[in-house]
Structures are given as structure tokens and as C-alpha cells.
Amino acid sequence: MSLQQQYRAKSMSAARAVSNIPSGAHIAMGMAVAEPPALLKAIAERVEAGDLNDLKLWYFHSMAHAGETLLKPALLDRVRPHCMFLSGIERTLLREAAEEGPPPVEFVPVAFSESPGLLKDKVPLDTFITTVSPMDRHGWFTFGTSNDYSSTAARSAKRLIVEVNENMPRVFGESLLHISEVDAIVDNDVPLAEQICPPISAEEQKIAAIIADMIDDRACLQMGIGTLPSAVCALLEDRKDLGIHSELMTPALARLAQCGAVTNQAKTTYHGRSVFTFAMGDRAFYDFLDDNPAMHSAPVDIVNDPRHVSKNDNVVSVNATLQINLGGACNSEHLLGRQYSGAGGQLDFVRGATASKGGKSIIACRSTAKGGTVSRIVPTLDGPVTTPRNDTHIVVTEYGFADLKGKSLSERAEALIALAHPNFRAELMDALH
């Protein structure tokens, strides 16, 4: 058959595409912007009709489409989420269910870099569903905004169902998917989910200025999610020959490429190209990604591998945390007695940047939380260690920065207390002694 004949033969309604998923199946979905809304709705309708039970749903970072379908509270007696990175959707579900019995979401601790291997080797995936960009004349789709674990899960699941959306950017790199690999195709041209960065606080602006001063020409950037990394990027437009090797591609990083600050000419790997594994932003950002050979998408087990990250010189990794203890250990995922997010790729890039020649791993946070009533620098962490004290390099708050490498525990404590809000320094000093 010709490629177009293959396409027509595999094209069907969302309801028909998901009709063979059995009860008890393990399924995985594309994360974030790649959530396939028509397929999620069709599966949810089968669950609501009593036709599908005991589903195990595997994923990172859910967004609205999942929250409105398979992650609706009414379905969670028949759908068991296995989430590797909590978003606001799971936080709401856990908070609302806190007094009603067992948690409705299974949190699965795993580094982002290890998620493809987990889904391939540890989970008997029956079906993978995701959104892809339209097929080209040679029969190739791309994974668009989400390569991450998707390119692996798509090939390890027994069944691959794709939702083709003309709004999904066609990306370069290791993101190709041939029609011969696909079991079913659903066309659904709807607007992509957009992530709009909220206004930055005064404290974060101070932190961003401190971090920007540490980033020189020819640095290779990894920026985490949120307002702070965006604020840092806004202060780097006068730099020269910056590079990008980041798990997340954002509009703020894209603007550095558009203004000429990013050229990727100083990079050792993927010379001349900005590397990422997933992307989130607005419509203009997706248009920038589309058909852009300077943007290189690769699986997360490549992008986040510390050994691969460290091949570039002058890697600067910027990530946020929730708490830092006086020894320098960071809790970046647990808050108020509950799982808040996940480890993601933080430790991957902390280690990759530290091992890079001239590299800097920067962990940043505001000095306080809850309107200034709680210190983020604490004697003892309230949750798990996301970045161990052995790995923490540079810590930044609005009161300055501390390079912890080579410092003893007492020296670290004194340096970190100096970064705490003045209202808490006395009690932290008392805890130290």
C-alpha cells in the first residue's frame, strides 16, 4: 500500500481506536502538551460506561486534558494513576482525598532520565497514547513537544495509538515515528495546551540577577520550570555564544536563540543545535519550534544523562528547591507533609553540571515561604532528599549565594544561615549549636 493508503487504513474514530484496550491494562500517555485529548476522552467514556476497569495509567506531568477525563475523581475507583511527577491536578486530588481514605494517586519515585527504562523494562505496557505532528510525504510523524519517555514507550507498548494534530510542531532530532510503527491514527486538530509564565516576585528578581552574574559567554544552559529561570534568561540577552542542553525548552530559552545570544557554537555535543527533551510554552513558541533545524529533540535518557551533559564545558544548571538543610541537602519535592512534585531531572543536571569543565550547578529558592512565616533554610528537612549534600554546589536566595563545595559542615551551615531571612537566622544559629 502507498503511504496515504496506509494512513487511511489506520485512521479511525477515537472510540474505535481505544476499543480493544482490555480491563486491567497498563497504559501510558504522552506528558504535558502531548496529552491526546480525544483519546483520553474516549477511554474515560469507556470507563464511565462500565466497559473498562482496573486501568493503571503511567505518566509524568499531567495537564488539563487528563484532569478533565481519566483523572476525574469519579473515575479513580477504576483508574489507578501511577504518576512520576505531580502537578496541580494530583495535588488537588490528594488534598481533597486526605481525610477520606487511601490516596487516589500512586506516586512512583524515579529520576526523569530513568523513566524510559522503567516503562520499557518494569511495566507491562499494553497501550501508549500520545499526540504527534502530521505525517510528512515520506511517512514520518514526530513526537513534537514530548520526546522524553514517549519515544521509548511508543515502541515498547503492545499497542501504539497516535492523535495527529496539525498544531503540534514538527521537530528535528531523534523524534521521528514512522507510520509502519503505528496501530491506529485519530485526527484531532485542536489548539495545544499553553503554559503562560506568571509575574515574577521581587525576591525572584533579586535571585535572577545574582544567578545571571554567574553566567558568562559560551556557557551551556539548563533551565528548570517556573518564573525564576525565565527571569534569569531575560537578563542574558547580551551574552555571546551561549548553548542550550536542557530537559525543558521554554519561550525564555527560545528568545535567547532568537536574539542571537544562543548560537551553540561552543558546545561539544550537538554543535550548533539547542537540545531538549520536552517543551512547554505559548502558540508563538510552538511556531518557533516547528520545522526549526536548530532545535534538536532527543529522549530523556540521553538528554538528562549526567555523563552526556558533562561532555559540554561551562554547563550552568539552574533549578529550584523547596527546602535546604544546614548541611546543604535539598528537598525539592515534598511540602506540608505531602508529595508536592517529584525529583524530575534535578539531580541528573546537578551531577552533569558539576562534572562539566567550568560547570556550575545552581539551586535557588526564596528564603521564606507562606508569606514570610516559614524559612526554606531549615535544620532538618521535612521530606526526602532530592539533591544530597554531597552534590549541592551553589545555593542562591535573595540574600546572596554560597558555594558549598569544599566547605565543612559547620562552614556550610554558617554560609547557608547568611542566606536565610534575617528573621530566622538566630534560631537557625541556635539549632546549629
The residues that are catalytic are 247
Angle, to 10 degrees, between the axis of helix 422-432 and the axis of helix 409-417? 160
Task: State residue 257 phi and psi, 5-degree precision.
Answer: -70, -40
DSSP state letter for 21: P
Q: Alpha-carbon distance 164 to 11, whole Å?
A: 10
- Asked if 58 contacts 28 with a C-beta cutoff of 8 angstroms, the reply is yes
Task: State residue 141 phi and psi, 5-degree precision.
Answer: -95, 175
Residues, the chain, total?
433
Task: State residue 147 phi and psi, 5-degree precision.
Answer: -90, -60
Cell numbers found for residue 203: 525576591
- From its phi and psi, is residue 260 left (phi > 0), alpha (psi between -120 and 50) or beta? left
CB within 8 Å of 302: residues ≥ 6 apart: 174, 277, 308
Q: Alpha-carbon distance 197 to 281, whole Å?
A: 8
Say if residue 305 is exposed, middle or buried (CB neighbours under 10 Å; 0-12, 13-18, 19+).
middle
Alpha-carbon distances of 331 from 13, 276, 334, 373, 389, rounded to whole Å: 45, 25, 7, 18, 10
H helices within 319-408, ranges in order?
346-355
Sign of torsion, CA 42 45 50 54?
Answer: positive
